[in-house]
Homo-oligomer: A and B are copies of this chain.
Amino acid sequence: MNDDTNRKRRSGGRAGHKTRAGTAVLDQMSWRIPVNTDRPTEPLDADGVLAIHRGAMRILSEIGIEILHPDAVAIFKQAGCIVNGTNVRMDETFVMAMLARAPAQFTITPRNPEREIILGGRHMVFVNVSSPPNAWDMERGKRSGDFETFKEFIKLTQYFNCIHVAGGYPVEPIDIHPSVRHLDCLYEKLTLTDKVVHAYSLGAERVEDVMEMVRIAGGLTHAEFDAKPRMYTNINSVSPLKHDYPMLDGAMRLARRGQPVVVTPFTLAGAMAPVTMAGAVALSLAEGLSAIALLQYIKPGCPVMIGTFTSNVDMKSGAPAFGTPEYMRATQMTGQLARFYKLPLRSSGVCAANIPDGQAMWETSNSLWASVQSQTNMVYHAAGWLEGGLIASPEKFIMDCEILQMIQRYFEPSITATADDDIALDAIREVGPGGHYFGCQHTQDRYATAFYAPMVSDWRNYEAWQIDGAVWTVERAHRLYKQIIAEFEAPAMNEDHREELQRFVARRKQEGGAPTDF
């Protein structure tokens, strides 16, 4: 390690300064792990919680779940579950004993330890949009994802302090061959951001490569990597009632090394789940809990989360709907069950809208407020998602970040403080009837931090807004997006670690990357 690198590591140095300078496009909120101060919204009474719990347990003990990974089937059998081919049935006693092993809260520490996140309790973190095959922006419209667009979204992910996690690929870069895509993508994620990253559970090689890259980027020994959570994966079941091979394989690999696994069934009521929301939630829980039970049997105490992705289809067209009243209630109900099981919860910021317009924002608002109401700990797709997850949009990303910042501000206890200074009787006496509070000392002492300061919202009156070009929200967001990308500077990184990462990627590419017949 040369002196220059050393200096950077100690102080942030020039690169650290650049990073700070790079955030000057916007006056955004500082990094924080928000703490949800609201009592959760609970549509179910205690009997309702038990009814859904018992439903999930009866699904697992009477109907069973297809486990398409032979090792996993063998492990379930060893644990005393009833195995018939790929069908595994497990009883409540086993499932609850396994769930009792799971931690209620854990951390994940990325290469920059200041970006450590807490998952569980009342903590809440926001993840960028993950996995759309397409991108849309105002200039280029809808198109397939590519690597350049991927990098743009990774820069947005790093830029916004209200985004805590660089989750799945914000858009799928189809111009990179699938055998090496994970190498190129993770290299960008680990160098353009210093936030927690994610591995897709799509075959052993990808998962092992990503774990190794996270280890290298952090300058960690293997023992240091294994000592605590450094990254995570998210797996989906194939609803109804099936866990496929690659997802289970990746989940077991991570669990064995103490890295967190989020299990998120995707249950659309009326399609791959019952048309009744309680049934869809019970099915989703059965699928999620079965995988968590497996992981806790393999590695007692390994960090896991239960995810919810229960929405409904439009019964006229079969199209998935998001941010609906049914979606909100399903998320709240799953939150109640997650607390019943003492598991951290993942939900999402979602919409069915195709472009970042009014519909997009009311659907997204509904889903983000449902994440607050359900005491969600990790909000996937919190910024940038459109068309039910088929499109990632930079304008939507920025518009969503405004909502996320408002949620963060909403949680600040200072807003609802009621000390004598907050009641402000002296100021009210001083200003008196008919007066004005702009000039009084009580206001002067507090005005700089008293209120939420917007990023992309325009609070001017119509005439001022019109003279300035009558720019609608989506166009304002587009301009900010271009400016952020143009002025982006990557966070500081140890050069030795970067070079080792480059060597690893080169070597693995030479070896052919990962097989693509998974």
Binding site for B on A (CB under 8 A): 37-39, 41-44, 47-48, 51-52, 54-55, 58-59, 62-66, 87, 134, 136, 142, 238, 240-242, 269-279, 282-283, 312-321, 324-326, 328-329, 332-333, 352-366, 369, 387-388, 390-391, 399, 402-403, 406-407, 409-410, 412, 415-419, 421-425, 427-429, 431-438, 442-443, 446-448, 450-454, 456-462, 465-466, 470, 472-474, 477
Measured between beta carbons, the chain B residues less than 8 angstroms from A456 are 359
Whole-angstrom distance between the Cβ of A288 and the nearest chain B Cβ: 15
Contact B312 A450 (CB under 8 A): yes
| Known contacts A314-B459, A329-B415, A406-B325: A270-B447 contact under CB 8 Å | yes
Contacts of A87 in B (CB 8 A): 433
A-B contact pairs, 26 of them (CB 8 A): A62-B425, A238-B434, A240-B428, A240-B432, A241-B428, A241-B434, A242-B434, A274-B437, A275-B442, A275-B443, A276-B422, A279-B425, A282-B425, A314-B453, A319-B459, A324-B406, A325-B415, A326-B451, A352-B459, A354-B465, A358-B358, A358-B472, A361-B361, A362-B364, A362-B365, A363-B457
What's the minimum C-beta distance from A399 to chain B, rounded to whole angstroms? 5
Q: What's the number of copies of this chain in the assembled complex?
A: 2
Q: Which residues of B contact A62 (CB under 8 A)?
A: 425, 429
Given contacts A62-B429, A317-B459, A324-B452, list 4 more A-B pairs with CB under 8 A. A39-B42, A44-B418, A359-B361, A362-B402
Give Cα A510–Cα B378 distance, bound, in whole angstroms.
Answer: 68
Q: A48 touching B425 by the CB < 8 A rule?
A: no
B354 touches A357 (CB 8 A): no
- What are the nearest 6 A-B pairs in CB distance? A279-B424, A365-B365, A55-B423, A241-B433, A274-B424, A51-B418
Residues of chain B within 8 A of A451, CB atoms compared: 269-270, 312-315, 321, 324, 326
- Chain B contacts for A465, CB-based, 8 A: 354
In contact, B51 and A461 (Cβ under 8 angstroms): no
- A429: chain B residues at CB < 8 Å are 62-63
Chain B residue contacts of A438, Cβ below 8 A = 270-271, 318
User: Contacts of A55 on B, CB cut-off 8 Å?
Assistant: 423-425
- Give Cα A425–Cα B423 distance, bound, in whole angstroms: 54
Q: How many Å lie between the Cα of A9 and that of B446 in the bound state?
A: 61
Q: Given A269-B451, A362-B402, A452-B324, is A279 in contact with B457 using a C-beta cutoff of 8 Å? A: no
Residue from B273, B428, B458 in contact with A274 in the complex, judged by beta carbons closer than 8 Å: B428
Question: In the complex the two chains form, is B437's CB within 8 Å of A326's CB?
Answer: no
B321–A459 contact, CB under 8 A?
yes
Which residue of chain B is the closest to A406 with respect to CB atoms?
B325
Return chain B residues, CB-CB under 8 Å to A312. Answer: 450-451
User: B459 contacts A315, CB within 8 Å?
Assistant: no
A364: B residues at CB distance < 8 A: 362
CB distance from A358 to the nearest CB of B (A): 4
A394 to B44, CA, bound (A): 38
Contacts of A240 in B (CB 8 A): 428, 431-435, 437
A328 in contact with B410 (CB, 8 Å): yes
